[in-house]
Amino acid sequence: MSFRRTRKNYVKSSIQTKDLVKYVGEGLLTSEGEKWKKQRKMMQPAFHKKQLQNLLSGMQSTIVEEYKKIKPEQAIDVYPILNDLAFQTVVQSLFTTAARPDEMERLQYITEANQRVLVRELRQPYLSWWFKVSGTLRKHTKLSEEARDILKRIVNERKDSGARYDDSLDMLLETRYDDGKGMTEAQLIDEILIIFTAGHETTSNALTFTFQLLAKHPQWQEKIVEESLELEDSDLMHRVSSSKICQQVLEEAMRLYPPAYFIDRVNVTTDSFNGMTFKPGCNLLFSVYEIHRHPNCGRMQKPLNRNGLQMVGYPIRHNIFRLGLDHANVLVIILRCLK
* Mean pLDDT value across the chain: 81
Is residue 218 pLDDT above 50, yes or no? yes
* Euclidean distance between CA atoms 292 and 295, whole angstroms: 9
**Domain range annotation of the chain:** 7-337
Averaged pLDDT for residues 138-151: 94
Q: What is the pTM of this model?
A: 0.80
Q: How confident is the model at residue 140 (pLDDT cuts 50, 70, 90)?
A: very high
Q: How confident is the model at residue 4 (pLDDT cuts 50, 70, 90)?
A: low
Among 3.60.21.10, 1.10.10.10, 1.10.630.10, 1.10.540.10, what is the CATH number of 7-337? Answer: 1.10.630.10
Structure confidence by residue, pLDDT tens digits, 70-84: 878 888 888 988 888
Q: What is the DSSP string of 184-245?
A: -HHHHHHHHHHIIIIIHHHHHHHHHHHHHHHHH-HHHHHHHHHHHHHTTTS-HHHHHHH-HH
Q: Maximum CA pair distance of the chain?
A: 62
Structure confidence by residue, pLDDT tens digits, 107-128: 999 999 998 998 899 888 899 8
Residue of 209, 184, 174, 163 lying closest to 335 (CA atoms): 209
C-alpha Rg value of the chain to the nearest Å? 21
How many angstroms separate the first and last alpha carbons of the chain? 47
Looking at residue 154, its pLDDT comes to: 92
Looking at residue 5, its pLDDT comes to: 61
Averaged pLDDT for residues 158-182: 86
